[in-house]
Chains A and B, each alone.
Chain A
Amino acid sequence: MMNARQIKKIRMTTFVAILLLIAMFVISVATGFASLSPAELFRTLIGQGTPRENLILFEFRLPRIVVAIFTGMGLAVSGAILQSITKNPLSDPGILGINAGAGLMVVVYIMFFTVETSSSLYILPLFALAGGMGTAAVIYIMSYIKGEGVEPTRLVLVGVGLAAALYGAALTLSTRLDMEDYSFMANWMAGRIWGDDWTFVLSLLPWILILIPLTLYKSNVLNMLSFHENVSIGVGVNTGRERIVLLMIAVSLASASVAVSGGIAFVGLLAPHIARSLVGPRHQSFLPVAALIGSILLLTADTVGRVILDPNGIPAGIIVTIIGAPYFMYLLAKK
Chain B
Amino acid sequence: MSRLYAKNLKIAYGERDIVKNLDISIPDGQITTIIGPNGCGKSTVLKTLSRILNPKSGVVYLDGKGISKEPTKQIAQKMAILPQSPDSPEGLTVGELVSYGRFPYQKGLGKLARRDFEVIDWALEVTGNYEFKDRAVDALSGGQRQRVWIAMALAQETDIILLDEPTTYLDLSHQLEVLELLYQLNRDQKRTIVMVIHDLNHAARFAHHMVAMKDGAILKEGSAEEVMTRQVLRNVFSIDAEIGVDPRTRKPVCLTYDLIKSVQLVENLA
Contacts and interface: CB of A to CB of B under 8 A. Distances in A.
Contacts of B81: 230, 233-234
B12 to A, nearest CB: 8
B92 A281 contact: yes
Interface in B75-115: 75-77, 80-84, 86-93, 95-96, 98-101, 103-104, 106, 108-110, 112
Interface stretch (A35-43, A45-53, A216-224): A216-224
B109 A280 contact: no
B257 interface: no
Contacts of B84: 230
Contacts of A3: 95, 133-134
B73 A1 contact: no
A277 B13 CA distance: 38
A106 B212 CA distance: 62
A153 interface: no
A229 B83 CA distance: 10
Contacts of B90: 276, 281
A228 to B, nearest CB: 6
Contacts of A229: 52
Interface in B23-74: 47, 50-52, 71-74
Interface in A221-259: 223-224, 226-231, 233-238
Contacts of A13: none
B96 A230 contact: no
Given A237-B103, A281-B89, A2 B95 contact: yes
Given A224-B103, A230-B86, A276-B91, A217 B109 contact: yes
Nearest to B90: A281
A237 B110 CA distance: 13
Contact of A233 (B72, B91, B95, B110): B72
A238 B72 contact: yes
Contacts of B134: 3, 5-6
Given A234-B80, A236-B72, A219 B92 contact: no
Q: Which of B72, B87, B133 has the most chain A CB atoms inside 10 A of its CB? A: B72
B103 A230 contact: no
A109 to B, nearest CB: 37
A6 B96 CA distance: 11
Interface string A201-228: 0000000000000001101100110111
B117 interface: yes
Contacts of A216: 109
B155 to A, nearest CB: 9
A1 B83 contact: no
Q: Which of A1, A220, A227, A276 has the most chain B CB atoms inside 10 A of its CB? A: A1
B93 A230 contact: no
Q: Which of A5, A229, A237 has the most chain B CB atoms inside 10 A of its CB? A: A237
A236 B109 contact: no
A1 B86 contact: no
B103 A1 contact: no
B76 A236 contact: yes
B134 to A, nearest CB: 6
B156 interface: yes
A8 interface: no
A1 B95 contact: yes
Contacts of B110: 219-220, 223, 284
Nearest to B97: A1
Given A224-B100, A235-B100, A219 B87 contact: no
Contacts of A277: 91
B95 A280 contact: no
Nearest to A232: B103
B14 interface: yes
B103 A220 contact: yes
A1 B106 contact: no
B92 A230 contact: no
B150 interface: no
A87 to B, nearest CB: 9
A6 B52 CA distance: 34
A11 interface: no
Given A228-B83, A234-B52, A236-B72, A146 B100 contact: no
Contacts of B73: 236
B120 interface: yes
Nearest to B99: A1
A1 B96 contact: yes
B62 to A, nearest CB: 13
Contacts of B109: 216-217, 219-220, 284
A229 B80 CA distance: 14
Contacts of B108: 217, 220
A276 B138 CA distance: 15
A205 to B, nearest CB: 23
Given A1-B133, A147-B14, A220-B109, A234 B95 contact: no
Interface of B: 13-14, 47, 50-52, 71-77, 80-84, 86-93, 95-96, 98-101, 103-104, 106, 108-110, 112, 117, 120, 133-134, 156
Given A223-B100, A234-B52, A234-B81, 4 more contacts: A1-B95, A6-B134, A220-B110, A235-B100
Interface of A: 1-3, 5-6, 146-147, 216-217, 219-220, 223-224, 226-231, 233-238, 276-277, 280-282, 284
20 contacts: A1-B93, A2-B96, A3-B95, A3-B134, A5-B134, A6-B93, A216-B109, A219-B110, A223-B110, A231-B86, A233-B52, A233-B81, A234-B50, A235-B80, A235-B101, A236-B71, A236-B76, A280-B92, A280-B93, A281-B89
